[in-house]
Amino acid sequence: MGDPISVTTVAEGVARIQWQGEPSVDELRREVAAALGDHQRVETLVGTEDRAAQRTATWAGLLKEGVSRGVTVDGEVADRVVYARVREDRPVDHPEGFRSLLNSFLPRKRAISQMLVRDEDGRVLLCQLTYKRDWDLPGGVVEVGESPRLAVQREVEEELGLEIEPGGLVLTDWLPPWSGWDDAVCLVFDGGTHPTSVLAGVVMQEREIRDVRFCTLDEVDELAADFTARRVRAAVEGSQPYTESGR
């Protein structure tokens, strides 16, 4: 006989399943299926350090949804990992259902796309951003399901009003966790060489861009964060396709 399993209704159409120890996975799956007969959603809240319970929730077919911070469970306030199934989820033994289960807990990496645009003197186009003091290459975060190449083209058009077709990938730079940010991968695409008169066509997105100009590498060192300056130099030199924080 497995460890005790309890199912309680915590909101309209929502059941919460809990267990002690390591229950039989088959029994837990049956309890989840039974609860979905009466509820639209079945969820469980698991401690962020409780790896055994996280594995059990996954084996039971519950998809990882994220971390709920500062919740109270059994009188204790702590962060909890949320796992759940809804009635419309594909069965785990279905290929799509199994892929969805894997996709819910496997690591995901933030991607940033930037564009290296230069003038005829080799200076680099930099943007002064409204939300931080440092200058940076034009570009931004890649949306979910979006191509990095299309993302940088979209960002440059949205932020600067410039329609520039991205060329080849000139640098992949890994950014380690920093100051509250998770790690990320930055992809720098070649934006080609343009006359300085291209600045006349810039229409800055006011809530994000304060200024834009072509800069020498010495000016990049002065205006940009150190890791950004390293990335720009690595992209300009083109001698290495991959760096970590510009190194």
**Spatial CB neighbours of 91, under 8 Å, sequence gap ≥ 6:** 61, 97
| Final residue belonging to a domain, choices 105, 137, 161 | 105
The CATH number of the domain where 174 resides is what? 3.90.79.10
Report the DSSP pairing between strands 184-194 and 169-175: antiparallel
pLDDT band at 241 (very low <50, low <70, confident <90, very high): very high
Model confidence, pTM:
0.84
Q: What total of structural domains would you count in the chain?
A: 2
Domain co-membership, 97 together with 121: no
Domain co-membership, 16 together with 57: yes
CA-closest candidate to residue 34, choices 6, 63, 12, 56: 6
pLDDT at 190: 98
Domain co-membership, 115 together with 208: yes
Domain co-membership, 115 together with 177: yes
pLDDT band at 74 (very low <50, low <70, confident <90, very high): confident
pLDDT band at 132 (very low <50, low <70, confident <90, very high): confident
Q: Which residue has the tokens 């419309």?
A: 88
Domain co-membership, 136 together with 99: no
Interatomic CA distance for residues 71 and 45, integer angstroms: 9
Domain co-membership, 193 together with 234: yes
pLDDT in tens, 112-127: 999 999 999 999 999 9
The CATH number of the domain where 12 resides is what? 3.40.630.30
Domain co-membership, 204 together with 148: yes
Domain co-membership, 85 together with 65: yes
Domain co-membership, 114 together with 101: no
pLDDT in tens, 14-44: 999 999 888 889 999 999 999 999 999 999 9
Report the Cα–Cα distance between both ends of the chain, in Å, rounded.
57
Q: Is the pLDDT of residue 2 over 70?
A: no
pLDDT at 29: 94
pLDDT at 3: 62
Average pLDDT over residues 5-19: 96
The sheet carrying 14-19 orders its strands as 5-11, 14-19, 41-47, 76-86, 63-73
Domain co-membership, 230 together with 215: yes
| Final residue belonging to a domain, choices 81, 105, 129 | 105
Which carries the bigger pLDDT value, residue 232 or residue 74? Answer: 232
For 23, the domain range is 5-105
Domain co-membership, 39 together with 75: yes
Domain co-membership, 73 together with 174: no
| Average per-residue pLDDT for the chain | 94
pLDDT in tens, 150-208: 999 999 999 999 999 999 999 999 999 988 889 999 999 999 999 999 999 999 998 89
| Final residue belonging to a domain, choices 66, 85, 105 | 105
